[in-house]
Amino acid sequence: MTSDQLSLPLEGPASGSRLPERIAPMQATTVDAPFDDPDFYFEPWWPGVRAFAMAEGGRLRLQVAGLSDALAAFPELAELPRQLTQDGVVLDGTLLVLDDDGRPDGGLLRRRLGRGPGPAGGRDGRGATGRGATGRPAYVASDLLWCGGASLMRRTFAARRDQLTTVLPPGDRAIAGHGYPREGTLVAEALATLGLEGLSARRLDARYRRGPAGDAWLRAPVVPPEPRPRPTLALLLRLPLESA
């Protein structure tokens, strides 16, 4: 997590809105290695940037650390509210940028964020946004924090996760991530074969916490083989555990 995220307050609703102006992020605790535990839900640590998606009245706001107007960098995601089955929703997830083959591409993501040269090798460091942006944005949601204009943060992650899959049906731009309970080491082995470097482990009975998560949310390293694979997002979402 960045220092920008550490300083974010949890503010009241924006004027005329049922949703908060900003969300104070929960910060995962790093552990040494993957593990098995029936009390945890395991999924990929996605190779992108943390983003809160706030949808209300058919409009979307994106909160990304370091960006004052994240939607300007990812305008294609403005259609996300039409995909949701509820209004007054806040999602916690990861923004990715995919190349022409559907693979997450860190260079394209940095250009969208204004942290790298543009598609023509520009030197102004501002990157490409709006119509001039490159790559195809995708949003993978891992948690549901608000729904129907009401906070779900005091509910368990298991309850929030179950509701997430009904609120966010699969779409072209945004999806709910896939994972598995109990079998953390098996999931990590599958992620390694797919070239991912991290495993997310969320305690099923935990509530959402601002700041350090303690044991509510853990991050474990994964060591991919060399040369590292670069699978498509569709393959990453299938998590082929039977071949791990």
Q: What is the pLDDT of residues 86-125, one digit of tens each?
A: 999 999 999 999 999 999 999 999 999 887 554 433 333 3
Q: Which domain holds residue 154?
A: 26-243
The verdict on residue 14 lying in a domain is no
Q: How far apart are CA 214 and CA 72, in angstroms?
A: 34
pTM, two decimals, is 0.86
Q: Which residues, in sequence order, are bridge partners of residue 94?
A: 50, 140
Q: Lowest mean pLDDT of 39-43, 212-216, 231-235, name the range.
A: 231-235
Residue 133 is predicted with a pLDDT of: 62
Residue 116 is predicted with a pLDDT of: 57
The verdict on residue 34 lying in a domain is yes
**Domain count along the chain:** 1
The verdict on residue 60 lying in a domain is yes
The verdict on residue 5 lying in a domain is no
Residue 132 is predicted with a pLDDT of: 53
Residue predicted with more confidence, 9 or 159: 159
Which percentage of the chain shows pLDDT scores above 70?
Answer: 84
pLDDT tens profile 23-37: 999 999 999 999 999
The verdict on residue 49 lying in a domain is yes
The verdict on residue 234 lying in a domain is yes
The verdict on residue 182 lying in a domain is yes
Q: What is the CATH number of the domain that holds 114?
A: 3.30.470.30
Q: Amino acid identity, residue 193?
A: T
The verdict on residue 1 lying in a domain is no
